[in-house]
Amino acid sequence: MLDIVAVPAFSDNYLWLVHDEASGETAVVDPGDATPVLAAAEKRGWSISQVWNTHWHPDHTGGNIVLKDATGARISGPAGENIPGRDVALSEGDEIRLGAHVGRVIEVPGHTLGHIALIFDEDRVAFVGDTLFAMGCGRLFEGSPDQMYGSLQRLTALPPETQLYCAHEYTLSNARFAAHAYAGEAAISERLAEVEQRRANGERTVPTSVARELATNPFVLAPNVEEFARLRRDKDSFRS
């Protein structure tokens, strides 16, 4: 089993520490800042041997070099992007390993053009960066609506119980937008109420699951790319 720990950073990022007890190996996904990651690993007696990046944005890669200098970690990231300190360039179909756990790389362009996700099929775990968020999706900084819509469809084609580890706590604002876009949809208003409660208690709302996103994510529910593009534009200007 993979032991996955959320390390909060900046205002709303989650840097994910991933530990395999059997091999003693530890990876960190998208370390925008090295300091909290090193502290969280040390607290558990874990030493970081790998860094996995989903895309180039500094809040996902800013800690790469410090981590590499401090731990000697090997850095794997998307082949199509500029990744500080990268040792291994990842493309569609490539494998990553943590002990005996095998992950595969899929390309999910949209937020950035080279964005990748890491899928551990047997563990039913996926690290999705800034592509899919709980009840939302990443902004289209580089890619087209068509690309992002396709990327979301790929992620939500994974088995329904798959846990999706996204990189930000955006769920409350996403849920408010979803309730506005799909007024009267019971599953969405129920989830909004749950998210409000959890955030009021200072709890995390991620990871999410494929099943929950299929039921309540407006961008996944969009029946076609035109509707997806309209929703994405509306969300960009929505103030909850």
Residues contributing to the site for Zn ion (CB under 5 A): 57, 130
Nearer of residues 25 and 59 to Zn ion, judged by Cβ: 59
**What are the φ and ψ backbone dihedral angles of 161, each rounded to 5 degrees?**
-85, -5
**Paired residues of 121 in beta bridges:** none
- Which one of the listed residues 55, 101, 115, 123 is annotated catalytic? 55
CB of 53 to Zn ion, least distance (A): 11
55: annotated active-site residue: yes
57: annotated active-site residue: yes
Judging by beta carbons within 10 Å of its beta carbon (0-12, 13-18, 19+), is residue 189 exposed, middle or buried? middle
Geometric angle at alpha carbon 79, from 134 and 99, rounded to 5°: 70
Nearer of residues 33 and 130 to Zn ion, judged by Cβ: 130
130: annotated active-site residue: yes
CB of 138 to Zn ion, least distance (A): 6
From residue 144, how far is each of 4, 60, 141 by CA, in Å? 32, 21, 9
- Name the residue among 158, 135, 140 with its Cα closest to residue 218: 135
**Ramachandran area for residue 129 (φ above 0: left; ψ -120 to 50: alpha; else beta):** left
The position carrying tokens 């200007």 is 237
Amino acid of residue 91: S
Nearer of residues 130 and 213 to Zn ion, judged by Cβ: 130
168: annotated active-site residue: yes
CB of 137 to Zn ion, least distance (A): 12
**What are the φ and ψ backbone dihedral angles of 157, each rounded to 5 degrees?**
-85, -5
123: annotated active-site residue: no
- Which one of the listed residues 19, 57, 101, 115 is annotated catalytic? 57
CB of 130 to Zn ion, least distance (A): 4
- Which one of the listed residues 19, 101, 111, 115 is annotated catalytic? 111
- Which one of the listed residues 60, 101, 115, 123 is annotated catalytic? 60
Nearer of residues 10 and 186 to Zn ion, judged by Cβ: 10
Task: Enumerate the active-site residues.
Answer: 55, 57, 59-60, 111, 130, 168
